[in-house]
């Protein structure tokens, strides 16, 4: 009896010793839509501090990441900028259906780096006293789709398209560079892009009322090839908690 107990203890100890480094080394591999990159980095750093869990983050456009994951890219979690691609991965059988959740709601804003530009934003737009307005490609980027909706609701989409004033950036980062370089006078960007550490926004901006566009739901899923499914669950559970929600809100998103 005694021997058996000792043996069990020793075996358990050995297993623990052998497995500990493996468990600690199993880092979570996260693929994040570019617009959420800086926020997920902060969240991950916070989570690493609290739990010791290692998290490695890759980013790209949701479309490109979706294509990578479909072709076997080794990620545990995918933070899409939209619902469509998270849903598609579930439909493809590559992600757990019950893991899909909205982690943030995007807030589009119209931005100019000039201070006085947007005192009366709708009037500025109607007057058309500018040359180029940049948006992310509406078909691929949810913020671009929202921008198209907003301009359509204001009866300006048709007109600006015909006048060749609408620049279609590949993504929000490119749209930002268009406005920041002065090449485009105005741009529809994400609030989260422009908020600095102190929560200030340079230049001038307009936050279009929510009734002008459909909500920009950003969804995450756990992928079926996740190495450590429990670790992925724990992280997404933590992201639904108050601390993480506060951080996401601080970063310039609305909370579902």
Partner 1 sequence: MFGISDNDLTALWITLKLAVISTSILMLLSAPLAWWLAHTQRRSKVIIEALVAMPLVLPPTVMGFYLLVLLGPRGAVGGFLEDIGVGHLAFTFTGLVIGSMIYSLPFVVQPLQNAFASAGGRMLETAATLRANPLDRFISVVIPLARRGILTAAVLSFAHTLGEFGMILMIGGNIPGQTQVASIAIYDHVEAMDYASAHSLSLLLVALAFILLMSVYALNRRFKVVGIG
What are the binding residues for molybdate?
62
Site track 140-179 with partner 1 (rule: CB under 8 A), x = hit: x--------------------x--x-xxxxx---x--xx-
Minimum distance of partner 1 from residue 223's CB (angstroms): 18
Structural contact between residues 32 and 57, judged by C-beta atoms closer than 8 angstroms: yes
Closer residue to partner 1 in complex, CB, 58/177 = 177
The answer to the question of residue 132 lying near partner 1 (CB under 8 A) is: yes
- For partner 1, give the closer residue by CB, 29 or 178: 178
> Cβ 28 to partner 1, closest distance in Å?
26
Minimum Å distance from CB 54 to partner 1?
31
Distance of alpha carbon 9 from alpha carbon 15, whole angstroms: 10
Comparison of 21 and 164: residue with beta carbon closer to partner 1 = 164
- From the CB of 14, what's the least distance to partner 1, in Å? 49
Angstrom distances, CA of residue 94 to CA of 69, 85, 97, 149, 192: 8, 11, 9, 31, 29
Q: How far is it, in rounded angstroms, from Cα 35 to Cα 50?
A: 25
Please state the closest distance from residue 208 (CB atom) to partner 1, in A: 22
Contact, 37 vs 57, CB < 8 A?
A: yes
Indicate the residue among 28 and 95 with the shorter CB distance to partner 1: 95
- Joined together, the tokens standing for residue 101 give 């959740």
* Range 51-80, binding partner 1 (CB under 8 A): 61, 63-64, 66-67
Which residues ranging from 173 to 232 are in contact with partner 1 (CB under 8 A)?
A: 174, 177-178, 181-184
Contact 79, 40 (CB under 8 A): yes
Min dist. Cβ of residue 169 to partner 1 (A): 7
Q: Out of 134, 192, 218, 236, which residue is the one contacting partner 1 (CB under 8 A)?
A: 134
Find residue 228's DSSP bridge partners: none
Stated length of the chain: 256
Rounded Cα distance, 80 and 219, in Å: 5
107 in Cβ contact with 255 (< 8 Å) = no
Whose CA is closest to 164, among 141, 132, 135? 132
Radius of gyration in angstroms for the set of CA atoms belonging to the chain, rounded to a whole number: 22
Of 45-53, 132-140, 214-222, 234-242: span binding partner 1 (CB under 8 A): 132-140
Bridge partners (DSSP) of residue 133 are 166, 186
| Residue ranges in contact with partner 1 by CB under 8 A | 61, 63-64, 66-67, 88, 131-132, 134, 137, 139-140, 161, 164, 166-170, 174, 177-178, 181-184
């Amino acid at each position: 009896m005694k021997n058996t107990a000792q043996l069990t203890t020793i075996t358990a100890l050995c297993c623990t010793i052998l497995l500990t480094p493996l468990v600690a080394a199993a880092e979570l591999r996260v693929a994040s839509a570019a617009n959420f990159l800086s926020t997920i980095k902060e969240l991950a750093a916070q989570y690493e501090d609290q739990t010791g869990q290692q998290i490695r983050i890759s980013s790209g456009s949701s479309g490109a990441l979706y294509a990578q994951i479909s072709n076997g890219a080794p990620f545990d979690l995918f933070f899409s900028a939209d619902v469509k691609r998270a849903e598609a991965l579930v439909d493809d059988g590559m992600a757990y259906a019950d893991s899909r959740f909205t982690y943030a709601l995007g807030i589009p804003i119209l931005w100019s780096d000039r201070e006085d530009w947007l005192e009366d934003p709708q009037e500025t737009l109607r007057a058309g006293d500018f040359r180029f307005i940049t948006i992310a490609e509406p078909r691929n980027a949810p913020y671009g789709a929202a921008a198209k909706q907003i301009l359509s609701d204001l009866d300006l989409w048709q007109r600006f398209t015909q006048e060749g004033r609408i620049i279609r950036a590949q993504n929000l980062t490119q749209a930002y560079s268009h406005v920041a370089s002065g090449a485009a006078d105005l741009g529809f960007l994400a609030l989260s892009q422009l908020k600095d550490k102190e929560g200030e926004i340079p230049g001038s901006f307009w936050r279009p009322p929510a009734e002008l566009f459909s909500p920009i739901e950003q969804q995450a899923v756990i992928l079926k090839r996740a190495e450590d499914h429990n670790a992925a669950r724990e992280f997404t559970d933590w992201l639904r908690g108050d601390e993480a929600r506060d951080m996401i809100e601080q970063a310039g998103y609305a909370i579902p």
